[in-house]
């Protein structure tokens, strides 16, 4: 091959500062060692791109296999997290444990998800409670109701107790709910860090 006339080019191998006159337009290295080094970098980039593509395809396949129940669980987890952050300064709604209690905090439903699935995502129905009241005392409703009346008012508690609507949540609604409450959680956490 005929050598190209022109200005010397900088070698593209990482760490090599040599300049050379390329023999053809495709030559980007000054020596065989630099050529091998460039080939390794290109192979690594190709491997990373393939791994990224496989992760994306796997994530998309998992999304396609999700059921409405899976989306409901994700939305519920986001809202539960939001309620715990919203009520972080409050103690247990069902008993006298203060906010400084070092046990596990839950998001407790006044009317359970099984008894009132249509109130599953209603924020009036969801409040921070200690794990003891929520798990072992089934919400400790005798303590929950008076504290709930003090917190949201008698009218709203009556509405929660008498509401018998039917709700069937679409996948799009559940995705949107998760997205909204995840964003609200990030904002609350950022606000807590600033204080």
Q: Is there a single domain that holds both residue 25 and residue 73?
A: no
Q: Is there a single domain that holds both residue 21 and residue 80?
A: no
Number of domains in the chain: 2
* Model confidence band, residue 195 (pLDDT cutoffs 50, 70, 90): low
**DSSP characters over the chain:** -PPPPS--EE--STT---EE--SSTT---SSHHHHHHHHHHHHHHHHHHHHHHHHHHHHHHHHHH--HHHHHHHHHHHHHHHHHHHTTTS--SSS---TT--S-EEEEESS-TTT-GGGTT-GGGEEEEEHIIIIISTT-HHHHHHHHHHHH-HHHHHHHHH--------HHHHHHHHHHHHHHHHHHHHHHHH-
Q: Is there a single domain that holds both residue 51 and residue 89?
A: no
Domain with 56 in it: 13-64
Confidence at residue 26, expressed as pLDDT on a 0 to 100 scale? 77
Above 60 in pLDDT, residue 3?
Answer: no
Does 3 map to a domain?
A: no
* Structure confidence by residue, pLDDT tens digits, 51-72: 999 999 998 998 889 999 999 9
* Structure confidence by residue, pLDDT tens digits, 87-138: 999 999 999 889 888 989 999 999 999 889 999 999 999 999 999 999 999 8
Q: What's this model's pTM, rounded to 2 decimal places? A: 0.71
Does 1 map to a domain?
A: no
Among candidate residues 49, 64, 79, the one where a domain is terminated: 64
Confidence at residue 1, expressed as pLDDT on a 0 to 100 scale? 45
């Amino acid at each position: 091959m005929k050598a190209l006339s022109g200005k010397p080019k900088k070698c593209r191998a990482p760490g090599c500062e040599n300049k050379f006159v390329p023999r053809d337009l495709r030559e980007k290295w000054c020596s065989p060692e630099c050529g091998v080094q460039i080939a390794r970098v290109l192979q690594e980039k190709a491997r990373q791109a393939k791994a990224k593509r496989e992760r994306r395809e796997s994530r998309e396949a998992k999304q396609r296999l999700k059921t409405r129940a899976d989306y409901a669980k994700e939305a519920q987890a986001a809202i539960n997290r939001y309620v715990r952050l919203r009520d972080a300064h409050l103690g247990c709604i069902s008993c006298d444990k203060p906010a400084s209690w070092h046990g596990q905090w839950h998001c407790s439903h006044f009317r359970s998800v099984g008894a009132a699935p249509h109130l599953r995502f209603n924020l009036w129905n969801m409040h921070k409670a200690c794990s003891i009241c929520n798990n072992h005392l089934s919400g400790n409703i005798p303590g929950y109701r008076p504290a709930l009346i003090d917190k949201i008012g008698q009218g709203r508690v009556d509405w929660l107790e008498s509401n018998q609507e039917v709700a069937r949540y679409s996948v799009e609604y559940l995705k949107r709910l998760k997205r909204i409450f995840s964003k609200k959680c990030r904002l609350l956490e950022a606000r807590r860090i600033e204080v």
